[in-house]
């Protein structure tokens, strides 16, 4: 792990506007279950390129794993503003809203995902989740 970390940081030093090395490092930290370090790395990625949807998605994922849900919402919303049809960001944002008990927002994101990705790999599971959430909301149970 330390070798990979050194290599990603060295690559970033060579080109400080390249987001890939730090984005890869964020992913490594997430894979190693180090969400705090992933957040730090994700914030560096966003500083390096504030116009990168993948940078905001990586930061959003790190914040989600660190249970910093309000900040994760902001990062994922920014990712979707930069790349409106980013399905992974949309699904993760739906999960953020679900954890925040914001069911209308969750449904909105699920419906948008289904609309934008009718043939997506996860569309069946997303439809099931939407239907289950609709039943729950209709019965008045959270």
Return the CATH class of domain 1-75.
Answer: mainly alpha
pLDDT tens string 39-61: 999 999 899 889 999 999 999 99
Domain boundaries, the chain: 1-75, 85-142
pLDDT tens string 13-42: 545 556 677 888 899 899 999 999 999 999
What are the structure tokens assigned to 113, written together?
A: 């995902």
Look at the chain and count its residues: 142
H-type helices in 1-142, by residue range?
Answer: 2-14, 20-31, 35-48, 53-65, 69-82, 87-99, 103-116, 123-139
pLDDT tens string 92-108: 999 999 999 999 999 99
């Amino acid at each position: 792990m330390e070798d990979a970390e050194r290599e990603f940081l060295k690559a970033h030093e060579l080109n400080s506007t390249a987001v890939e090395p730090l984005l890869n490092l964020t992913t490594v930290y997430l894979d190693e279950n180090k969400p705090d370090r992933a957040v730090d790395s994700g914030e560096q990625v966003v500083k390096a390129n504030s116009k990168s949807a993948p940078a905001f998605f990586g930061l959003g994922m790190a914040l989600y794993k660190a249970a910093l849900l309000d900040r994760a919402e902001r990062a994922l919303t920014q990712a979707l503003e930069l790349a409106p049809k980013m399905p992974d960001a949309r699904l993760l944002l739906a999960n953020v809203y679900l954890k925040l008990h914001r069911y209308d927002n969750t449904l909105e994101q699920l419906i948008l995902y289904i609309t934008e990705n009718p043939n997506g790999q996860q569309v069946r599971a997303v439809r099931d989740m939407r239907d289950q959430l609709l039943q729950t909301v209709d019965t008045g149970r959270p």
